[in-house]
Amino acid sequence: MMNQIIQGILLGGYYALIACGLSFMFSVMRIINLAHGSLAVLSAFALWLLASRFHISPFLGLAIVLPLMAVIGWALQRFLLQRSARGGALLPILTTFGLAIVIDNVLFEQFGADTRSLAPYIGSLSYASWEWPGSIYVGKLAVIIFVTAVVLLGGLQLFLTRTSLGRSIRATSEDPDTAGLVGVDARRAMATAAAIAMVTVGLAGAFLGMRATFDPYAGATQLLFAFEAAVIGGAGSLWGTLIGGIMLALAQTLGATVHPQGFLIGGHVAFLIVLFIRLYTSGLGLGGLLRLSTGKAS
């Protein structure tokens, strides 16, 4: 059982990493980015391309891919999301949904349906592990991913609270009009936030490729995990994202011990329980929830 808990916590680090960008974009820009998973897969393919064609290690490749992801995020916000946000809350969701379809199909067109992995390009790291007392084997890559998630979340927390740009981003997310009146360039702040979110997505995509396989349509599953971790942790809370990721992973691990097919179902059940608790405690009450579920809410 201890082994499963430890593996679950470490897997939670990956979920926190992939949920981090989604949660950040939602809390700062009020945008649910449905292209989140596809963008992570795009990053994984970019690293795979660098590794397979140019023999650049995926870790070195991050020095190229992460700045590119930042530019993509900045451009997305300035030329797509900012404009679509003027059309109401639903339009950015539809826009990112469309973007996900475009990315998936462009990747399919370019790389075909084969599954790929970055594992062959990182040496023994993909399978090497430490043995802990009690015959518990802890994967080195899993530990690296977990530590990266903690450092990233801590770094983001420090950035948002201790730097002028971070405060500007928080102010813009709270009240963009007033932010302008105190000298904050709201458009620049939002574009910077999108660039940061995409860097985290790029990092998550790299670890996705190192710890598992991916194909052009793998984005939807990653989006689902990210969404579940973000909601369980309380969308918008950075440290909550880590807790959400760990809870999701523990539920999946527990589900897998109950039944071989229970891995995904365990996570979904945990997500639904937390979602219903949140809705119930939000003041809707049981009656409100039932009316919502039967479509009778006025």
Partner 1 sequence: MSLLSVEDLVVRHGLLQAVRGVSFSVEHGETLALVGANGAGKTTLLRAIAGAHQAASGRVVFDGADLSGVPSHERVRKGVALVPEGRRLFVQMTVEENLLLGRTAGRPGDWSVERVLETFPNLKPRRHAKAGHLSGGEQQATAIGRALMSNPDLLLLDEVSLGLSPLVVDRVYASLQGLISSGTTIILVEQDLNRALSVSDKVICMLEGRIALAGDSKNVSRDEVTKAYFGLHRKSAGGVPA
For partner 1, the binding residues (CB under 8 A) are 161, 164, 167-168, 170-171, 174-175, 177-186
**Pick 97 or 239: Cβ nearer partner 1:** 239
Between CA 298 and CA 290 the distance in angstroms is 12
Q: Taking a C-beta distance cutoff of 8 angstroms, is the pair 229, 18 a contact?
A: yes
**Pick 18 or 190: Cβ nearer partner 1:** 190
Least distance in Å: CB of 171 to partner 1? 5
Question: CA-based angle 147:153:159, to the nearest 5?
Answer: 130
Dihedrals phi, psi of 30, to nearest 5 degrees: 55, 35
Least distance in Å: CB of 118 to partner 1? 39
Least distance in Å: CB of 173 to partner 1? 9
Least distance in Å: CB of 86 to partner 1? 16
The residue type at 15:
Y
Question: CA-based angle 278:204:84, to the nearest 5?
Answer: 65
Cα Rg of the chain, angstroms:
20
**Pick 114 or 177: Cβ nearer partner 1:** 177
Helix, strand or coil, per DSSP, at residue 88: coil
**Pick 180 or 234: Cβ nearer partner 1:** 180
Least distance in Å: CB of 237 to partner 1? 12
**Pick 46 or 189: Cβ nearer partner 1:** 189
